[in-house]
Amino acid sequence: MALGIRGWAIFFFLLFSAAASVQLNDPDPLVWTLAYATAAVLSLTAALGRPLPRVTGAAALVFAVAFASLAASLIDAPTAAFTSLEMRAPVHEAPREAAGLGLLFAWTAFLAWRTRPSS
């Protein structure tokens, strides 16, 4: 059975809530906790049938700009950056952050598009 937009919104609410909670031990916890918590809240509003497409679109734009600033770190990123839950080396931080921002952008852009008011 395929998940509808509400099912996906619940999934991403749970995923981003978990991601926000583990950012507390990050070197810059406020930025990352806020980013993941923002996506979690926007997912929750959509899951509850009260989406905020303009706010979600604005968040997607912020995530896109941030992703663009780190995207180059994904080129030739060591596989080890993505195969462990622990940070094994400082060079793993930027590709991990880029991947997170890519996911935040992709989901919030899709959610904004999918929940936009029909004209």
Residues 54 and 93: their CA atoms lie apart, in Å, by 30
Q: Is residue 107 exposed (0-12), middle (13-18) or buried (19+ Cβ within 10 Å)? A: buried
Please report, for the chain, how many H helices and E strands are present, in that order.
Answer: 4, 0
User: Looking at per-residue confidence, does 118 or 10 come out higher?
Assistant: 10
The predicted-structure confidence for 45-56, as pLDDT tens digits, reads as follows: 999 999 999 999
The predicted-structure confidence for 60-115, as pLDDT tens digits, reads as follows: 999 999 999 999 999 988 888 888 777 777 788 899 999 999 999 999 999 999 99
Instruction: Evaluate if residue 27 carries a pLDDT over 90.
Output: no
Residues 1 and 13: their CA atoms lie apart, in Å, by 20
pTM as predicted: 0.91
